[in-house]
Structure 1
Amino acid sequence: MSHWFDTITLWLEANPQWLGLSIFVIACLECLAVAGIVIPGTVVLFTLAVLAGSGSLPLWQTLLLAYSGGLLGDAISYALGRRFHQNIRGLPVLRDHPEWLSGAENYFQRYGVVSLLVGRYIGPLRPMLPLVAGMLDMPFVRFALVSLLAAAGWAVAYMLPGWATGAAMRLPLPEGFWSAAGIVAAAIALMLLIVIHSSLREQRGATAISAALSGSLLIGLLIGWPHLDTLDQGLMTLIQEQRGPAMDSLVLLVTGLANFGTQVAAGVLLTLLLLLCRRQAAALFVTCCMLGTALCNTGLKHLLARARPEVLLQPLETYSLPSGHSSAAFALFLALGILAGRGAPARTRLTWLLLACLPALLIALSRVYLGVHWPTDVLAGALLAGCVCAASLALLQRRAPMAPLGARVWWLILPATLALLSGVSLWSLPEAIQQYRY
C-alpha cells in the first residue's frame, strides 16, 4: 500500500491536471459505503490537499471538489441502502464484517438525524451512516439537506489543513516562520490532547482543566505575541494571496455573522427562547459565555492596544488583539455545542464541539482574509472564548450536571438563531462592502 501510494503521489506531482479529479474521486470513495472503511482516505486526502496548496489548485476549487465528491459518495450509499434494504446485509464484504453495519445502525437509531452530522467525523461510521439512512427509509429530502450541511463542514475540516500546509511550503515565508508555527501548533496540540484525554476518561475536573489550559495558553499568547511577528506576517501573506472579488462577497457574508449587533441580537434571542422553554440553567450559561467573553475581550483590547494590519484603504480605528469577531463567534457556537452534548457520551460531546468550532473557525479566518486581524488575534479570541465557556460550565455544574435540552427545544432555538444571524448578515452586506475595501 505504501509503495502504491508513493507512486500515485509522484505521478500527480508530474501531472497536476489530474489532481482535481483525484480529489473528487477520493472524497467520493471516502464517503462511500464499505470503500470508506477500506481505503486510507484521510491520509490520501491530506496529501492531495498539500499538492493542491503547492500551487496546482486554488483553495475554493479544492474545497468544492472535495465537497462535491463527498456528496456523491453520500448519495450513492443512500441509494444502495434504499434499493436493497435489509438484503444489503448479504453482500460479501458486509456478510464477513457484520459489525460495520450493526454499529452504524445502532448509532443511527439512537441519534437519528444528528448521527449524520456527528458521525461524519467518526471514521468507521462516516461511510456507513448514509447506507443505513437509506436502508431504514429516511426521507430523501431530509437526508439531502443534512448531507449538504455535513459535507460542507467535512470538506473544510479535511482539506483546509493540508492545503494550507502546501501553500506555506510554496511561499517565500519570513525567516523564523516554521519555528514559530511549530511552537504554537505544539502548544495547541498538547492542550487538545489533554482536554480530549480527560474528557474521554470522564474525569470530574475535565471542564476545569479545559478552562485552565485555555487560559494559560491565552496568557502565553498575550505575553509573547511580539515574538510571533514572523508567524503573523507569513500567514497573512498566505491568506491574502487568495483574495479576489468573487471570494470577497462570500467572506463578507461569513464575517457579518459575528458583527457586534448581530451577536447581541443572537444572544438576546437565544436567551429569551431558552427562558421561554423553561431552561433557566441553559439561558444563564449562554449569557455567561457571551457576555463574559465580550467584557474580557474589550478589556484586553484596550490593555494591549495592538494596531491592526495595514491592508484596508480605510483601516479600522479600534484595536486588534484579541479579535472580537473571533471571540464572539466561538463563544456563541461553543455554547451551542456544549448544550448539544449534554447527556451524551464523551466521544459525542467532543464531536459536537468540533462541529461547533467549524463555523466559528470560518468567521475567524474571514477576519484574516479581510486584513483586519492578525492570525494571532483570532487565535487569542478563540482561546478566550474557550476559557470563558469552560469556566462558566464548570461553575454552573458544581452541584449537578446541566440537563439536556430535548429535541423540541432545539427545533425552536436553532432555526430561529441561524435565521437571525443569516438575515442580519445579508442586510448589512452593502455597508460591509464599502467598509472592507482594499
Structure 2
Amino acid sequence: MTLVDWLYQLTPSPTLLLLIIAAISLVESLAVIGLIVPGVVLITAAASLAGHQQLAIPLVLMAAFLGAVAGDTLSFALGYTQRARVPGLWPFSRHPEWLAHGARFFRRHGTLSVVFGRFAGPVRPIVPLIAGMLHMRPFTFAWANIGSALVWAPAYVLPGYLLGRTWKQLLTLPAGSDKWLILLAVAIIVLALAFSWLRHQLARESWLYRRLAVLARARPWRRRLWHRLRSTSHGEIPLASLSLLVLASTAFCLWTLAVLEKDGPLIMDEQVRALAHALQHPILTRLAAGLAEVGDAAGLLALCLPWGAWLLARHHTATFLHLAVGLGGMAMANTLLKHLIGRVRPEAPAYLVDSAAYPSAHTSTTVLLFGLAAAFFSLEVSSHRRHLTYWLAILACLPMALSRLVLDVHWASDLVGGVLLGLTGCALINISYHRFPHRSLNEAPWRRLALASLALLALRLLWLPPL
C-alpha cells in the first residue's frame, strides 16, 4: 500500500476536515479551553492533512477564519453577559492571576489588545473575555476580532498546508516505512499531550485529587495510608508519580516480553531502520554523533557536575542523593538488562562491540535525568506553568533517542524500552523525593550553572573520544 493510499484511509472527508479546522480554530480562541488546548500543533496538523488532500486553500482559510472569529465572539459574549460570575468560575476561582494578567494586557493596549492578543500565547483566550467583562463596545470588538482573524488564519494555516502539499517531494521513502514516520510523529504528540494532561489532572489543585482526599477521610485505614503517602515538604500525595510508576513499569515488562518473544528485530524495527537509512544525511550523522557523546558517561558527568557541586555546597543533600542514586541505579539496570537479554545491535562500532542493544541506555538515562530535573524544578514554579518544564524535558530527550536510529546502533524497540525504563526510574525517584524533607531550589543561579554545564560539555566534545 502506498503512502497516499494509507493517508487517504487515515484522513477524514474534505467536508469533515474543514469542520475540524474550524472547530480547532474556535476552541483554541475560546476562554478557559484555549488555555489547555495546544492549538498551534493541532491547526498545523489539520492544515497539513488539508494540503495533502489538496483542498482549495480559500476554503481552508475560510474555515480557520470563521472558527477564530466565532471563538473570540463566544469568549467576548461570556465576559459581557456573565461579568460578575466569571471570577468565581473554575479555573479563574483558583487562578485569579490569569484574569489580572489579561486585564493588565487589555488596559495597556486598549482596542489593539484584541489584535495583539490573537498572537500572544497565554493571553490569547483571555483577552476577548476581559474585553467583554470591561464592556468594550461590541462594534469595536467586532472589527478588531475580524481584522485580526484575517491575518491569523493565513499565518497559522499556510505553513502546515504547504507542508502537506510538498512533503512527498522532499522525501523518497522506502516501501513499507512511510507509515512509521507518521505513526512516530502521532505517537510522540499523543503521548506527550496525554502525559501533560494526566499530570495536570493528578496535581494537588485538580478535582480528582480533592475527590480522593475526601474519600481517604471516610475510613481510618484510608486516612493512615493517605498520611503515609503525603510529601514531607509539600503535604501532597504524588499521584502523578504513582500512576506513572504503575503504567510505565507494566508497559516496560510487557514490551520486554514482546522483544524476548520475537528473538530478533520486530517488523517495526526493520521498517523504521529502512526509513532512517532513507533519511541519512552527513549533517544528521554528525549531529547524531555529537548527541551520542553528550549522552555517554562523560557527557552526563559534564552536564551534572556543576549542579551536583552546587547542591552539595548549599546542603541540598536530599536532592543530590536522589539524583545520584537515580543515575547510578539506571546505569546498573541498563547493564543488567543488556547482559540478561543480550540483543544484537543493528551495527556495532568498536566502542560498542561489547554492549548489547536492549534497552537503549542513552535513551533511558536521558529520560531519567531530564525527567527528574523537570520534576524537581516544577515544584518551584506556579502550578499552571509546571507543564512547561515537562515539555522542555520531552524536547530535550527526543533528539537523543532519535539519534540512536540515525547512527544505526539501536532498533526502534530498544528506544521504546529505554523510554519506559527511564520513566519507571523517574517515578520511583520522585516518589521517594516526596517522602524526604528538602529545601526549595529557587535560590539556584540557573544561568551560571547552565553556562558551566555547557562549557564542560564543550570540553568533553572537543577533547574526549566516545565512551
TM range (shorter): 0.5 to 0.7
- 1:109-161 Cα offsets, whole Å, 9 max, x none, are xxxxxxxxxxxxxx859xxxxxxxxxxxxxxxxxxxxxxxxxxxxxxxx99x9
Residue 197 of structure 1 corresponds to 201
Q: Residue 357 of structure 2 contacts residue 410 of structure 2 at CA under 8 Å; is this kept in 1?
A: yes
Residue 445 of structure 2 corresponds to 409
The 1-side partners of 2:43 and 2:186 are apart by 26
Residues 384, 315 of structure 1: alpha-carbon distance in 2 compared, 3 angstrom cutoff: closer
Is residue 2:387 matched to residue 1:350?
yes
Q: Which runs of 5+ in 1 are unaligned?
A: 10-29, 31-35, 55-84, 105-122, 126-157
Once the two structures are TM-superposed, the CA of residue 235 in structure 1 deviates from its matched residue by 1.6
Once the two structures are TM-superposed, the CA of residue 313 in structure 1 deviates from its matched residue by 9.2
- 1:350-374 Cα offsets, whole Å, 9 max, x none, are 3201201212211111011100011
Q: Trace 1:1-80 onto structure 2 (pairs within 5 A).
A: 41-47=40-46
Once the two structures are TM-superposed, the CA of residue 388 in structure 1 deviates from its matched residue by 1.1
The 2-side partners of 1:343 and 1:182 are apart by 31
The 2-side partners of 1:271 and 1:287 are apart by 9
- After superposition, the CA RMSD in angstroms is 4.8
The alignment of Structure 1 onto Structure 2 pairs a total of residues equal to 319
- 1:146-179 Cα offsets, whole Å, 9 max, x none, are xxxxxxxxxxxx99x999x98999642279979x
The one-letter amino acid of 1:42's match is V
- 1:187-211 Cα offsets, whole Å, 9 max, x none, are 9579736445323737423222212
Is residue 2:176 matched to residue 1:173?
yes
The 1-side partners of 2:403 and 2:338 are apart by 19
Q: Residue 331 of structure 1 contacts residue 385 of structure 1 at CA under 8 Å; is this kept in 2?
A: yes
Q: Trace 1:84-99 onto structure 2 (pairs within 5 A).
A: 89-92=109-112, 94=114
Is residue 2:424 matched to residue 1:424?
no
Q: Residue 365 of structure 2 contacts residue 422 of structure 2 at CA under 8 Å; is this kept in 1?
A: yes
Q: Residue 267 of structure 1 contacts residue 290 of structure 1 at CA under 8 Å; is this kept in 2?
A: no
The one-letter amino acid of 2:247's match is L
The 1-side partners of 2:364 and 2:423 are apart by 9
With the length of structure 2 as denominator, give the TM-score of the two structures. 0.56
Q: Residue 172 of structure 2 contacts residue 278 of structure 2 at CA under 8 Å; is this kept in 1?
A: no
**Alignment partner of 1:217 out of 220, 243, 251:** 251
SS of residue in 2 equivalent to 1:397: helix
The 2-side partners of 1:176 and 1:89 are apart by 47
Residues 240, 49 of structure 1: alpha-carbon distance in 2 compared, 3 angstrom cutoff: farther
The one-letter amino acid of 2:290's match is L
Q: Trace 1:181-260 onto structure 2 (pairs within 5 A).
A: 192=195, 194-199=198-203, 201=206, 203=209, 204=237, 205-225=239-259, 226-227=261-262, 229-260=266-297
The one-letter amino acid of 2:202's match is S
Residues 102, 183 of structure 1: alpha-carbon distance in 2 compared, 3 angstrom cutoff: closer
The 2-side partners of 1:44 and 1:175 are apart by 22
The 2-side partners of 1:214 and 1:237 are apart by 28
The one-letter amino acid of 2:45's match is F
Percent pairwise identity: 20
Q: Residue 245 of structure 2 contacts residue 427 of structure 2 at CA under 8 Å; is this kept in 1?
A: yes
Q: Residue 324 of structure 1 contacts residue 381 of structure 1 at CA under 8 Å; is this kept in 2?
A: yes
The 1-side partners of 2:282 and 2:185 are apart by 33
Q: Which runs of 5+ in 2 are unaligned?
A: 1-13, 22-27, 29-33, 54-104, 127-159, 210-236
The 2-side partners of 1:364 and 1:370 are apart by 11
Residue 366 of structure 2 corresponds to 329
Look at both structures and tell me which one has the larger radius of gyration over its CA atoms: 2
